Amino acid sequence: MGKIQRICRKTPVFATFSTRTFLNLPDFSGVLSNFGTEGLWGRIRQLSPLHPPPCHPKFGPMSKGVTPRSHDYARWYTDVVQKAELADYGPVRGTMVIRPYGYAIWEAIKEAYDQRFRATGHSNAYFPLLIPKSYMSREAEHVEGFAKECAVVTHSRLRAADEGGVEVDPESKLEEELILRPTSETVIWAMYKQWINSYRDLPILINQWANIVRWELRTRLFLRTTEFLWQEGHTAHATEAEAREETLRILNIYREVAEQEMALSVVAGLKSDAEKFAGAVETWSIEAMMGDRRALQAGTSHFLGQNFAKAFDVTFRNEANEEDYVWATSWGVSTRLVGAVVMAHGDDKGLRLPPRIAPIQVVIVPIYKDESKVAVMEAARQLTGSLENAGLRVQLDDRDTVTPGFKFNDWEMKGVPVRIEIGPKDVAAKQVVLVRRDVEGKSTLGLDQVIQELPPLLDEIQDCLFKQAQAFRSTHTRQIVDWEEFREFMEWGGFAICGWDGDPASETAIKEKTKATIRTILEDQEPTDLACIYSGKPAKHTVVLARAY
């Protein structure tokens, strides 16, 4: 019996989810049939090899200055991130400047998570960036995971150099060197030791939004940078059951926001020992499929057991007046999610943003000649105002220095879900031209209907992007029992559902031979008659295998 069922029995809160819904397991039949629009579905069905389909020739094959996705996916990604003004490279290798538009997307994602954390009883706090080096030796396993990528602070000041400029002042060498946090477990648990004495002090449910530093060798904007922004939750509990419940509650929030706000289709499950966080007993994650069919870990939730409590000697008196170690969890999502949204939804024309996290949901492009400018701008301003009053994030593009055609491409690059064009003909006919970013084609709409029609249209776009992502993942997910077929499938890319004998040696061999890793163990799928994809021995687990970022 899988772990979730065990927990469900002890903790009624999970009884409300079916395990299938909870884990969002691949469902090979459901996604297709409940997708309503037949014409659109026809188009999605043909997706290959990349999702979404290449742009319609009528609208131009691709965007200027952006490498087509099918040609070079990695370059396409970098081009789009920069062209859409999400981020730029910082002066130090591996660092990134998140530009206002990219940061606005992150803020929307952040807000969606923050609300849910608060709603489930968590509070935000802030712990220091600098950590004494000695803290890293307290938890051996955890150190092993991060030691290789810790930036170390050794001195406290500079001085003027003889040749001009500055140099490190050797006099200022620190007695104890400091590290820049690669994650905050150690500082936080040092504090929890001081705060926790009794079961009455528990649980502690703290989250922090912070920057962290991991000295990465190979970096990519958003996906892996030396410094990045994230959220790290750290909770302390009196019982194992409570901590386990917390781990899954958060995992569920991660899945929910990914699906509902970011329109990502994810698989949730347990990590293998090789892939789990070094200090954890269990690591759970959500895995999303990117447009090149590779997996991206989009959030992790760790059940830490009593590992950190023991390392930092955090004990408490329970209700029976016995001394016990505290049970713990930690969990995080990062700015990597912005990259996930780009890679999951983008096309050759640029970004496609789900309305709920789009900084601008509707852009209005006025079209005029000198003599019609006043009337058109007046109508455009009125429309902008009333959409703002309706609570939509709307922008009137009144730039007079670029042509309408340029604006169309510009906003498509930036992924704005809906564009409204309004010109002299439209003003005369009391209508507007409406263009969706998620599907091709233009339509017209009566000016007086816009306010009423737009909110449901945004919902529909949100839903359509999610359905496209689901269909894409479903199409590229396959149950495989034959090794050769598996090898070929991994060359092509996608999620393979396979048996695994549970042996780390098999896992390593699979990785060496195919570059695929166990993305997640499907905890509630009993591999009764499955054999291990590699060894052929009876499978202990059903796993999702894929190449990953």
Partner RNA sequence: CGGAACGUGGCGCAGCCCGGUAGCGCACUUGACUGGGGGUCAAGGGGUCGCGGGUUCAAAUCCCGCCGUUCCGACCA
Tell the burial category of 56 from Cβ atoms under 10 Å away from its Cβ (0-12, 13-18, 19+).
exposed
In the bound complex, what is the minimum distance in angstroms from residue 534's beta carbon to RNA? 17
CB atoms within 10 A of CB 307: 22
The residue (of 287 and 501) whose beta carbon lies closer to RNA is: 287
Q: Residue 478: CB partners within 8 Å, gap ≥ 6?
A: 489, 494, 495, 496, 497
For the CB of residue 330, give the shortest distance to RNA in the complex, in Å: 11
Residue (475 or 520) nearer to RNA, CB: 520
Could you check whether the bond before residue 355 is cis, i.e. omega within 30 degrees of 0? no
Kindly tell me which of 111 and 149 has the beta carbon lying closer to RNA. 149
Tell me which residues touch RNA (CB under 7 A): 59-60, 63-66, 74, 78, 89, 92-93, 145, 148-149, 214, 216-218, 220, 223-226, 228, 275, 277, 285, 297, 300, 332, 334-336, 349, 367-370, 373, 400, 402-406, 408-410, 412-413, 421-426, 433, 435, 442, 515, 548-549
Q: At what angle do helices 504-514 and 483-492 cross, to 10 degrees?
A: 50
**Cα 212 from Cα 229, distance rounded (Å):** 6
In whole angstroms, the minimum distance from the beta carbon of 64 to RNA comes to 4
* Nearest CB to RNA, comparing residues 424 and 538: 424
Torsion of CA 68, 471, 469, 274, to 10 degrees: -100
Cβ distance 26 to 473 under 8 Å? yes
DSSP state for residue 171 in the 8-state scheme? G
In the complex, the smallest distance separating the C-beta of residue 142 from RNA, rounded to whole angstroms, is: 10
Nearest residue (CB) to RNA, 13 versus 140: 140
With b for 16 or more beta-carbon neighbours within 10 A and e for fewer, the 472-490 pattern comes to bbbbbbbebbebeebeebb
Which is nearer to RNA, 196 or 262 (by Cβ)?
Answer: 262
10 or 430: CB nearest RNA:
430
End-to-end alpha-carbon separation of the chain, Å?
31
Q: What is the helix (H) or strand (E) element at residue 225, kind and residue range?
A: none
Give min distance, CB of 424 to RNA, in A: 5
Cβ at position 12, least distance to RNA in Å = 31
Minimal distance, residue 92 CB to RNA, in Å = 7
Cis peptide before 12 (omega within 30 of 0): no
